[in-house]
Chain A
Amino acid sequence: MIRAHGVRFAFPGRTVLEDISIDIEESLTTVIVGRSGIGKSVFLKCIVGLLRPQAGSITIDGQEVVGATRQDTLSIRKRIGMLFQEGALFDSMSVYENVAFPLAYHRSASAHEIDKRVNAYLDLVGLREYARAMPQELSGGMKRKVAVARAMILEPHYLLYDEPTAGLDPSSSAVVESMIRRLQRERAITQLVVTHDIDLTRYIADRIALLEDGRISARAGREEAFAEPSAIYDHFIENRERIRAENGSQG
């Protein structure tokens, strides 16, 4: 289980996270929602040790992340796969090489085993025929799928997604949504998604948390979150409708 307690993070002159406390339950998909720039990605980076909070505690399977030694951080990261915004594929490598990279670099499997696993994960995301393609030849949705295959190749226990549908057209978003849902259903991976995409949240979430003003201000299951009235429903629906109405009346 991923457990965050009292996490506080500030950039020079700007506090981003005030006091984040949340438990990410095993084998479920938890979605943290909030408007852009609120600190969702920062929180993910704190979880994987890319940023160090100024206060609070984050544990993964009981192991403390904040202030962990380099060796401990590496061992924690081996249990986590992460999908970055835009995918963060390596431009100079083909799709196959991108997916094979974590195994090949650490020489943790034979060439035959690597080949088998890469093909299996490319099959899983439905991109085996694009194995020789370069990242720049792929659409946004395909890049995210390759990034998921790469994140999955080390068979992590946790999969974190940073805005997985940001910048995608509706059909590509739907492809990514289905894949996240399928991974959760078929492999029972514990997934944490941060997004401001209401449709994605409605489709994939088992648990939803609302990040507001540097705090988790509301938590709920999917049904509860989208039932009227609820803080999360208000946040998404009412804000959107109000802004649309205001813009419409001005127009």
Chain B
Amino acid sequence: MSHAQSESAREWRHAGASTASMYGNFFFWLFREPFPTRQLGQQIVRVMLEGFGILAVSGVVEGAMFAWLAGWYGMKFSVINWAGAATLYLLLSAATTLFGAMMFAAKIGTAFTVEIGSMQMSGQLDALRLMAVEPTQYIVIPRVLASILCFPILKAISDACAIGSSIVLARLWFDISAPIFLQHALLVLRSTILTTSYIRCSLHGFFISINACGLGFYFQGGAIELGKTTTKSIVINLICVLVIDTVYGVMDSVFGWSTV
């Protein structure tokens, strides 16, 4: 193994150890006093503001994209009346959760890694420790809890944008009116589809934020290493999102939550 390869392997081992340590650290400090209520409030506002734009835009794009695909195939196979149902089913059960989680990892996850990594680099985390403030409690727990709480709300916003854009595209491109587009939607949308997708969002929020915070928290090095760590943050989180959705898919096929 060359030096570069062994260095890269060492960096990935460190990244894995960092995220693993953060899971233990998080649960160790979660139930200890004082609970960071004020910081949680600040992070909820911050995550909502930072996540709103990207999740809304991705919702609009996904809605238009899926409506176009469903409309095109609907026309081709003469089942255009089902285009709306197919679009909304795909969007709400899978697409806005999966793509939303990717956007969340890219926007919020990387922001957490860079922010906490910079704090580590500049000695701010050590300064907190010296003031008898545990950084996990003060920095990490509010960010993770805010992500768990906010991502489902952001997904709801993304859903609304996706539904809106799909209706508009169906009307403008395929000349399908909104009532016809939506007429079969309620037949296929079961409550479990929505509840499981929102629970998945909370899970994504938890894993993305813990991974991102862990990589920043245990960061070592300078500006170049911080850049590499941020790249690792998004790579690890995208893999994590795909793994969670794959596991969900397997469980869904076993338990039939999304069966129409």
Binding site for B on A (CB under 8 A): 45, 48, 50, 74, 77-78, 80-82, 84-86, 88-91, 101-102, 105-106, 154
Contacts and interface: CB of A to CB of B under 8 A. Distances in A.
A90 B132 contact: no
Nearest to A105: B133
B243 interface: no
A45 B132 contact: no
- Does more than half of chain B's interface fall in helix, strand or loop, or is it mixed? helix
Contact of B132 (A78, A84, A85, A88): A78
A84 B123 contact: yes
A88 B127 contact: yes
Identify the 10 closest CB pairs spanning chains A and B, nearest first: A88-B123, A84-B123, A88-B127, A102-B131, A74-B132, A88-B124, A82-B130, A50-B126, A77-B130, A77-B132
A84 B128 CA distance: 11
A50 B130 contact: yes
Contacts of B124: 88-91
Contact of B122 (A77, A86, A101, A106): A86
Interface string B124-147: 101101111100001000000000
13 contacts: A50-B126, A74-B132, A77-B130, A77-B131, A77-B132, A81-B130, A84-B122, A84-B127, A86-B123, A88-B126, A90-B124, A91-B118, A105-B138
B131 A45 contact: no
A119 to B, nearest CB: 19
Nearest to A84: B123
Given A78-B132, A84-B127, 19 more contacts: A50-B126, A74-B132, A77-B131, A80-B130, A81-B130, A82-B127, A82-B130, A84-B123, A84-B126, A88-B122, A88-B123, A88-B126, A88-B127, A89-B124, A90-B127, A91-B118, A91-B124, A105-B131, A105-B138
Contacts of A82: 127, 130
Given A101-B131, A102-B131, A105-B133, A45 B122 contact: no
Which residue, of B122, B124, B127, B130, has the highest number of chain A Cβ atoms within 10 A? B130
A91 B121 CA distance: 13
Contacts, number: 41
Contacts of A50: 126, 129-130
Nearest to B125: A88
B39 to A, nearest CB: 10
Nearest to A78: B132
B123 A106 contact: no
A230 B2 CA distance: 48
A106 B132 contact: yes
Nearest to A154: B131
A103 to B, nearest CB: 10
Of residues B123, B129, B133, which shows the largest number of chain A Cβ atoms within 10 Å of its Cβ? B123
Contacts of B131: 77, 101-102, 105, 154
Contacts of B122: 84, 86, 88
B180 to A, nearest CB: 51
Nearest to A49: B129
Contacts of B132: 74, 77-78, 102, 106
B166 to A, nearest CB: 39
B133 A45 contact: no
Interface centre among A74, A85, A89, A105 (most CB of B within 10 A): A105
A154 B133 CA distance: 13
A77 B133 CA distance: 11
Interface string B108-129: 0000000000100011101101
Contacts of B133: 102, 105
A245 B126 CA distance: 41
A85 B130 contact: no
B123 A48 contact: no
Interface string B64-79: 0000000000000000
A89 B124 CA distance: 7
Contact of A45 (B118, B126, B138): B126
A216 to B, nearest CB: 24
A74 B129 CA distance: 9
B28 to A, nearest CB: 11
A77 B124 CA distance: 16
Contacts of A105: 131, 133, 138
Contacts of A154: 131
A90 B127 CA distance: 9
A245 to B, nearest CB: 33
